[in-house]
Structure 1
Amino acid sequence: MIRFQQVTKQYGSKTALKDLNLEIKTGEIFGFLGHNGAGKSTTIKSLVSVIEPTSGTIFVDGQSLTENRLAIKKRIGYVPDTPDMFLALTAGEYWDLIAAAYEMTPADKARRLRKLGDLFDMNHHHEETLSSFSHGMRQKAILIGALLPDPDIWILDEPMTGLDPQASYDLKEMMKQHAARGKTVIFSTHVLDTAQQLCDELAILKAGELIYNGTTDDLLATSPGESLEAIYLNMAGRKADHELVADLEESVHE
């Protein structure tokens, strides 16, 4: 189980995340929803130790992240919200770096890399630099790196962005299988259909504050017959969105 206890992140006078209290169970797919700037990436980056919260504590299976950072990081595979990193490296060099960081054996690395390379159609691109790849291919390279050591906890920030339909489908199937093995998948997305399809539980953030945490089914039950998109926008969107749309349509027809 992963637990956020009173986690706050401030940048000067701006509060990016305020007093977050949240539990993520082992063996589930957990989704973060929210508009840009809602605090999703801040939460994720705090968990993967990219940034340090201003206050509060994060626990992973009862261990404080601050006090057990290296051990916990070795259990995590992380896909950031942009794949534009390590661009001077070839894909093979990047995967070698990840394998070394996680202390993988050559045999395990070769087996996993062959499997993931086949799945994402990347086995013929080892010698090409990440800078030469399209956005989607960079995303695949970063995904392969994150999943290469077969970590217990997958943390994926907008992982489907740029992926082709086959790669997106395959990743979603892998996420389901990982959770079915009793492991944890955490991801953020703006694609509400994907969240509705995959997530066991959801957290919705707005302006750095948690406004919903619970199962997807329970959230849908709050407004029978409504889509997740409609429920989400009612909670996290502009309250007058429907009025703005109506005004726009009226002006178009004048």
Structure 2
Amino acid sequence: MSVASANLNIMIKAARIAGRSLVRDFGEVENLQVSMKGAGDFVSRADMKAEQLIRETLTEARPNYGWLGEETGGSAGTDPTRRWIVDPLDGTSNFLHGLPHWAVSIALEHKGEIVAAVVYDPVKDEMFTSEKGSGAWLNDSRIRTSGRRNMIEMLFATGVPFGGRADLPETLQDLARLMPVCAGVRRWGAASLDLAYVAAGRLDGYWERNLHAWDVAAGILLVREAGGLIDGLEEDTNPVTSGDLICANEPVFANFAKIIRD
């Protein structure tokens, strides 16, 4: 981003610090004994350490802001209008399995609205950033949602529920309706990057259920500032609070939303 605010610069700094720590730990994952308990414990520690680094960096600069983090929960600040919303490691299962697709996600909320966002992929050194009214950026380049208009040419992403979650049947029904009319559906395993990829035009749309605020807060602003449309699966609901969302480029949003909401 050519000119960033002080807050966004602090967020970028925090994401890079956490990213360096996570990349070092990621290099150790493949050396761990293949044991879910051993590897899972290791990744949990890496996750917690990254969140601590982010919180220290942000709090040092803005001690009065509130906080909502995946690992440490929420706490009010002396400024009740602002809070950080942080996922220190989005894509934990990918990280655990040595898959190089995961990210650090940091959003700043002001009076209930996301006003600044960072999604950082340290492995690829891709820094997605946005501020309200200033567009969306990947490193130093402006990004926009795709201009595709024909569903059959479009690539979408979602999250497929795992571990016997109750929403699996709904997602399978979504896929049955969507896949015959599009170019494909991807399941990358990191919601923040799915949203960033929609903003960058790499994906044409994305939907998912049962997400948390820290999964989507930063990515929502990226999509909007890149010219995309985003809504809850229930029309006119806030995805940050509902945990359900659908987004796409403007030309296809209505058609895509109808297929998923049917």
Query: How would you bin the TM-score normalised by the shorter chain?
Result: under 0.3
State the TM-score, normalized to the length of structure 1.
0.28
Bigger relative contact order, structure 1 or 2 (CA pairs below 8 A, ≥6 apart): 1
